[in-house]
Amino acid sequence: MNVPALVEPVVPNASILKKLWGFKRVGLALLSPMFMWYLFSSQATGAMLAESFEAHRLRYGYGENEAFTKYIDDTPLIVPNPLKWFSSKP
C-alpha cells in the first residue's frame, strides 16, 4: 500500500538504470519482511534451532541438572502466569 510513497518520481527520458534506481526504497522496505519470513520459517522447521538447542542442552544439562530443569519447566517463555505466583506449591 505504501509503494507509491516509496517510489521516487521518474524523469521521462531517463535511462532504465535511473528508473530502476527510483525503486531503491522499495527494495529496502522489502528486506524487513523477507528477514522476518526467514526467521519464522527457519524456526518453524527447526533449521535454526536444532544445533542451538542441542548445544544448550549439553552445556547446561537440561534433563540432567535437577535445579535447571525445574527452572526451565516453571519459567514462562513469553507470557507470565500470575496464578503460579500465588499457588501454595513450593
What is the per-residue pLDDT across 4-57, written as a single tens digit (0 to 9) for each? 777 777 777 888 888 778 888 888 888 888 999 888 887 766 666 666 667 766
7 and 20 in a common domain: yes
Q: How confident is the model at residue 75 (pLDDT cuts 50, 70, 90)?
A: confident
The mean pLDDT of 52-70, rounded to a whole number, is 73
Range of the domain at 22: 1-46
Together in a domain, 33 and 61: no
The number of folded domains in the chain is 2
pLDDT recorded at residue 53? 67
Angstrom distances, CA of residue 1 to CA of 6, 20, 32, 57, 73: 10, 19, 15, 44, 43
Identify which of 42, 10, 39 has the alpha carbon closest to the alpha carbon of residue 26: 10
Please state, in angstroms and rounded to a whole number, the distance separating the CA atoms of residues 56 and 51: 9
> What are the grid coordinates assigned to 57, written together?
542442552
- Does pTM surpass 0.75? no
**pLDDT on residue 90:** 55
Q: How many Å apart are CA 78 and CA 56, to the nearest integer? A: 19
Residues 23 and 56 in one domain: no
Whether 85 shows a pLDDT value over 60: the answer reads yes
Instruction: Note the pLDDT of residue 7.
Output: 72
